[in-house]
Amino acid sequence: MSELKHLDVRGMLCPMPVIRTQQAVRLMGGGERLWIVATDPGVMHDIPAWCRVHGHVVVDQITERPDYRVLIEVGHRKV
């Protein structure tokens, strides 16, 4: 299994966390995992919605205010 990657998008508001996530995922392979750490609570809805559209899987979501964390697994079909 490959190294777990982290993306810090704290301080960014919609749509930037999703845009940065998309940019990070483009550099990753299927099965790799990415923790996204944000301060915008919208990521708890926006990232899972983006994952459903693009074939990725939400593995975990954690709220530790002021941070919101979403762990995704990159799908094998990247769009």
**What letter represents residue 56's amino acid?**
H
Burial level of 9, CB count in 10 A (0-12/13-18/19+)? buried
Enumerate the β-bridge partners of residue 62.
69
Active site (catalytic) residues: 14
